[in-house]
Amino acid sequence: MTTRISARFTDLAAQGRPGLVTFITAGDPDYDTSLELLRMLPGAGADVIELGVPFTDPMADGPAIQAAGLRALKAGQTLAKTLDLVRAFRVEDAATPIVLMGYFNPIYIYGVPRFIADAKAAGVDGLIIVDLPPEEDKELCLPALEAGLDFIRLATPTTDETRLPTVLAHTAGFVYYVSITGITGSATPDADVVGAAVARIKQHTLLPVAVGFGVKTPAQAAAIAAGADAVVVGSALVEAVRKTLDDAGAATANTVPAVEALVRELAEAVRGVGRQAAE
């Protein structure tokens, strides 16, 4: 089945370049600014959008994304409003894939069947749920796949050869390789080590592999992207949001332009990888 995600990666392959996946937190610093940011991303060079679903206790996230989630919650963001954001974005953009990334409890409380139906209807393409390993597939992964939502699995440096097939068994869209053992936005990954890990995963699957956690600068993004199908940047973008906020934590005139400038730099660096490869 052709989905927005598979269409986008097919297109990237045709262009001969890796993709840029950008992460922002839904509702950070407020709903309206978040929607503006979302609408800005494709034009600035984001190929896939990861939209963080705020949660009070994000146990795999570092300080930057923890703070972004708390800002969003303080501004009144809920899972229902996150689906509203996606619906509003889809009015203007029918092509850019959106993947929700978060933790299971808000979805569990919303109700799994209702969430799957509403997410599909809103225009969500995939889900990355950090605290649902293959051992808990029946909770959300299997019903989501059944409904045509891609369930994107995290593979990590601790996922060894024997476990990899389990991790890849019910995954769709792409595989998200976590480049470090750690939390988001912490250590800097080593591009050579990551490249070898991606090659190892590709021996087991035909799905594209995106790499994230710890990628902060355009140069790092380019180095990681060279050995993968896409690179994910998150903490650096939510930090860019934070730095533009006023003393009360509200968005300023500089918030969207500052994030846009960083996304353009990242996109240029990542697209440069494609040009070099083509030369």
Partner 1 sequence: MNALNSYRTGPDEGGHFGIHGGRFVAETLMPLILQLEAAYEAAKVDPAFKAQMDGYLAHYVGRPSPLYYAERLSEHLGGAKVYLKREELNHTGSHKVNNVLGQILLALRMGKTRIIAETGAGQHGVATATLCARFGLKCVVYMGAVDVERQKPNVFRMEMLGAQVIPVQSGSRTLKDAMNEALRDWVTNVHDTFYCIGTVAGPHPYPSMVRDFQSIIGKETRAQMLEAEGRLPDSLIAAVGGGSNAIGLFHEFLDDPGVEIFGVEAAGHGISSGQTAAAILAGRPGVLHGNRTYLLMDDDGQISEAHSISAGLDYPGIGPEHSWLHDIGRVKYIPCTDTEALGAFQLLSKLEGIIPALECAHAIAKVMEIAPTKPKDHLMVVNLSGRGDKDVSTVADLLGGRI
Contact set with partner 1 (CB under 8 A): 54-60, 62-63, 66, 73, 78-80, 103-110, 130-136, 153-160, 163, 167, 178, 181-183, 186-187
In this complex, which beta carbon is closest to partner 1, that of residue 60 or of residue 88?
60
In this complex, which beta carbon is closest to partner 1, that of residue 18 or of residue 58?
58
Residue 244: exposure state from Cβ atoms within 10 A (0-12, 13-18, ≥19): middle
Residue 265: both structure tokens together: 């730099």
Say how far apart CA 182 and CA 214 lie, in whole Å. 9
Nearest-approach distance from CB 10 to partner 1, in angstroms: 26
Nearest-approach distance from CB 186 to partner 1, in angstroms: 7
Helix, strand, or coil here: 211? strand
Chain-centre distance for alpha carbon 17: 18
In this complex, which beta carbon is closest to partner 1, that of residue 27 or of residue 227?
27
Residue 103: both structure tokens together: 């933790």
Nearest-approach distance from CB 83 to partner 1, in angstroms: 12
Residue 203: exposure state from Cβ atoms within 10 A (0-12, 13-18, ≥19): exposed
Nearest-approach distance from CB 32 to partner 1, in angstroms: 19
DSSP secondary structure letter of residue 185: T
Say how far apart CA 147 and CA 159 lie, in whole Å. 27
In this complex, which beta carbon is closest to partner 1, that of residue 32 or of residue 57?
57
As annotated, the active-site residues are 50, 61
Say how far apart CA 120 and CA 180 lie, in whole Å. 31
